[in-house]
Amino acid sequence: MNHAAHSPAPLAATDLNLDPYWMPFTHNRYFKTKRPMDRLLASAKGAYYTTVEGQQLFDCLSGLWCSSLGHGHPKIVEAVKRQLDIADYVPAFQVASPESFRLAERLADVAPADLNRVFFTNSGSEAVDTSLKIALAYHRLRGEASRTRFIGREKGYHGVGFGGISVGGMVANRKMFAPAMIPGVDHLPHTHNLKEMAFSRGQPAWGAHLADDLERIVALHDASTIAAVIVEPMQGSVGVVVPPVDYLNRLRAICDKHGILLIFDEVICGFGRMGDWFGAQAFGVVPDLITFAKCVNNGTVPMGGVIARQGIYDTFMTGPEHMVELFHGYTYSAHPLAVAAAHATLDILHEEEVPKRFGALGRQIEEAAHSLKGEPNVIDIRNCGAAAAVELSPLPGQPGLRGLRLFEEGLKRGMLLRFTGDTIAMAPPVVTTPDELHRMIEAVRASIRAVA
């Protein structure tokens, strides 16, 4: 079914002053010089965006990994509108909306094992920084204040707060800000190895041993200095880098051995995309803390959070009862509009068995994406859950340019793709039909050939 919005009235390129807006993660000069009308999105409905010129673009990455149910779901829209009539804002300090407690309970019900204490934030970046603060304070409260070091992973993406870029491993996100990053952070090696893994379907068989590098890091720094290890179960932002079989289990075992907390950044993996509620369940590994955002309310209103094991929460519940246990929080934590959207989203996830449906869509995406093997300059295809990526060889001396050109070719063919460097990522919404998936893959195939 085509859910595209009605075409808005055309907008002339001269009608907009593009100069004042400093666009995030965007080549501002290139964008504003080209004045690309096919990238000005006027509306969204179902699996489609509509540009100001009326062109329909299939949403190949569910917004930015966040609109997994498609856009404008009537139950979510109605829930947010209804909440506006009840309360537009409720403070989260010392008072709270009853619905925020109900939402925390519902999130705890779908989280793995005893992860059942929920701290609300407004984004994945804030969730990551919150998880790091919780880990640091947890060890201090237990009398292990020497545990101040965090271990991230090369190529990891954990948002753009100073904590997140410190544990993150994407060079471009870090290099400008090195003087202000958290000291003492170390990094595990990444698991992206084309020689051993290229064209793997699902989890690569090679690479579990890469987790053992954590033992080397522990030996170098001593376990008594390490607070937590943070990884994405599946690395989405760097281009769908999939964990090798047994890799996450090994990380869990090493963390347990040395008393180190394990944090799963599930901002992308959470709420169905991996074929289960969280990547933790999909991969069969229970962390100590989970960060979430994006799909918790289908990207409708900014929301994120941290789910902690009960034992971690209980460690904070000491001292006089009238004292604040964790001096941390945000003005918009558990914002009532975000909470309303999340309740409606959880209703849909349950009623429509969305994780199960993503599992089925993931199998279709795997077959479709791997049909691109053998196309010009394709050096790898990866898939995990209902997500896939196609990696192209870079143009000599111009890394990233082929990916940009492929992105632009996709727009010509009605596809809003996501590129990172020379990798194209695809993670369409769960409402995607077999015909839409076929058209997406064939448009990518045509675009690959066009930039060869």
HEC assignment per residue over 422-443: CEEEECCCCCCCHHHHHHHHHH
CATH level 2 (architecture), domain 77-351? 3-Layer(aba) Sandwich (3.40)
Fold of 13-72+353-450: Aspartate Aminotransferase, domain 1 (3.90.1150)
Question: Angle, nearest 10°, between helix axes 247-258 and 213-221?
Answer: 20
Domain span(s) for CATH 3.40.640.10 in the chain = 77-351
First-residue to last-residue Cα distance in the chain: 33
Query: Is residue 343 within a helix (H) or strand (E), and if so which, with residue range?
Result: helix 336-351
Domain span(s) for CATH 3.90.1150.10 in the chain = 13-72+353-450
The pair of structure tokens assigned to 122 is 């407004």
Query: What is the full per-residue pLDDT of the chain (452 aa) written as tens digits?
Result: 444 444 455 555 568 899 999 999 999 999 999 888 889 999 999 999 999 999 999 999 999 999 999 999 999 999 999 999 999 999 999 999 999 999 999 999 999 999 999 999 999 999 999 999 999 999 999 999 999 999 999 999 999 999 999 999 999 999 999 999 999 999 999 999 999 999 999 999 999 999 999 999 999 999 999 999 999 999 999 999 999 999 999 999 999 999 999 999 999 999 999 999 999 999 999 999 999 999 999 999 999 999 999 999 999 999 999 999 999 999 999 999 999 999 999 999 999 999 999 999 999 999 999 999 999 999 999 999 999 999 999 999 999 999 999 999 999 999 999 999 999 999 999 999 999 999 999 999 999 999 99
The pair of structure tokens assigned to 79 is 């829930």
pLDDT at 184: 94
DSSP secondary structure string, 201-265?
A: -SS-SS-GGGGGHHHHHHHHH-GGGEEEEEE-SSB-TTT-BPPPTTHHHHHHHHHHHHT-EEEEE
The pair of structure tokens assigned to 99 is 């619905």
